[in-house]
């Protein structure tokens, strides 16, 4: 995985609460056995109409959303199914971070393993982001902070180990494999 230290990008704002992973990537696209190419299906039922044409009123279809790597969602983003296809689709589309006031547990865990930074902010900061779509932000993992265009800096929580893995491009599996002897001892003790 690629190491990430900071992301600077404009935002796309989707201020709907409880966006579930069935919206992020509908189940009918989960018959794939690959991680690739899911960006095309991202938010498929909101992005395209029944005939597969782009819906002009959906935010991702607006020209100003082009190239934005930060998605601002409503509270409880990523709830529902555990499908890792959701962060795969977001990353394949070009997103590198999701910001909300709350991010669902499994989605957050999956995001951290795919270089998609989950950023949880307070309600006031969130409201500012919703009211200022397209704002250019910097998300800095080193300082665990979000920099707004007016120079304000907002701290966000991120698990120390996940942050270390993201910043060094490490897969968590390596750490588990290094602990093989402790796992073996546990198995002997438990049997």
8 A C-beta contact, residue 43 and residue 71:
no
8 A C-beta contact, residue 23 and residue 43:
yes
Q: How far is the CB of 150 from other proteins (least distance, A)?
A: 26
Q: How many residues does the chain have?
A: 191
Residues 22-61 that bind other proteins (CB under 8 A): 22-23, 26-28, 30-35, 45, 50
Q: How far is the CB of 56 from other proteins (least distance, A)?
A: 18
Q: Please select the residue that binds other proteins; options are 3, 5, 16, 124, rule is CB under 8 A.
A: 16
Distance CA 151, CA 27 (A): 41
Q: Does 144 bind other proteins (CB under 8 A)?
A: no
Distance CA 10, CA 134 (A): 5
| Residue 179 phi, psi (nearest 5) | -95, 20
Q: How far is the CB of 155 from other proteins (least distance, A)?
A: 16
**Could you tell me the CA-to-CA distances from 146 to 9, 16, 88, 89, 108 in Å, in that order?**
11, 21, 23, 24, 17
Closer Cβ to other proteins, 109 or 132, answer by number: 109
Q: Does 191 bind other proteins (CB under 8 A)?
A: no
Residues of this chain that interact with other proteins (CB under 8 A) are 15-18, 20, 22-23, 26-28, 30-35, 45, 50, 74-76, 79-84, 87, 102, 104-106, 109-110, 113-114, 159-161, 164, 172-173, 175-177, 179-180, 182-183, 186-187, 190
């Amino acid at each position: 995985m690629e190491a990430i230290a900071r992301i600077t990008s404009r935002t796309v704002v989707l201020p709907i609460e409880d966006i579930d992973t069935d919206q992020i990537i509908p189940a009918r696209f989960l018959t794939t056995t690959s991680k690739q190419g899911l960006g095309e299906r991202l938010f498929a039922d909101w992005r395209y109409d029944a005939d597969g044409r782009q819906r002009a009123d959906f935010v991702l279809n607006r020209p100003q959303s082009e190239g934005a790597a930060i998605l601002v969602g409503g509270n409880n983003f990523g709830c529902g199914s555990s499908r890792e296809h959701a962060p795969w689709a977001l990353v394949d589309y070009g997103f590198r971070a999701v910001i909300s006031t709350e991010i669902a547990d499994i989605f957050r865990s999956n995001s951290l393993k795919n270089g998609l930074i989950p950023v949880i902010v307070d309600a006031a900061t969130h409201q500012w982001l919703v009211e200022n779509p397209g704002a250019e932000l910097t998300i800095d993992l080193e300082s665990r902070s979000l920099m707004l265009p007016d120079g304000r800096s907002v701290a966000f929580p991120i698990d120390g180990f996940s942050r270390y893995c993201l910043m060094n491009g490490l897969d968590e599996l390596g750490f588990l494999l290094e602990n093989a002897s402790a796992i073996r001892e546990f198995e002997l003790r438990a049997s």
